[in-house]
Amino acid sequence: MKGNFSVEELKERMISSKDMAERKRWQALYLAKTGKYTVKEIADIIKVSVYTINKWVYNFNHKGEEGIKSHKKGGNHSSFLSWQEEEDFLAELKRKAESGILLTVKNIKAELEKKLGHTVSKDYPYDLLHRHKWQKTVYQHNQKWQSKRK
């Protein structure tokens, strides 16, 4: 294992870790640095695979401390378009609705798939409309979607 960290420094990083996932990574490096355990034994102690231990050591060797730290995983991972692209898409739908074209979720789904170039789940159009606070409006027993915002 590469790196300028001593066994004591690795132990300190392990103890001061803010979350359990990062603590496990530092623990694996600490145990490896002591030289008392094989990779298999470390994997058994930490309850992860040998592959995972090797990946952590590789990341540490190539990226240093940054390869071990936990990174935030936030954001909207359920959308295929950026917020602005969704706004533009819905603006086009609104123009179609105002010109008298009936909008159904089936039609919206087809338009989305055409724009994206791949299929989307049945829920995706509903999620898109909900994210932008659109609601269903019924005219003469037909369903039409419109924005709550004016």
Percentage with pLDDT > 90 across the chain:
45
* 83-147: CATH number: 1.10.10
Give the residue from 12, 57, 49, 8 showing the smallest Cα distance to 32.
57
- Computed over every residue of the chain, the mean pLDDT equals 85
Q: Residues 6 or more apart from 135 whose CB is under 8 A from it?
A: 145, 146, 147, 148
Domain spans in the chain, listed from the N-terminal domain onward? 7-67, 83-147
- CA–chain centroid gap for 53, Å, is 23
pLDDT, one tens digit per residue, over 2-42 is 767 899 999 999 999 888 999 999 999 999 999 999 999 99
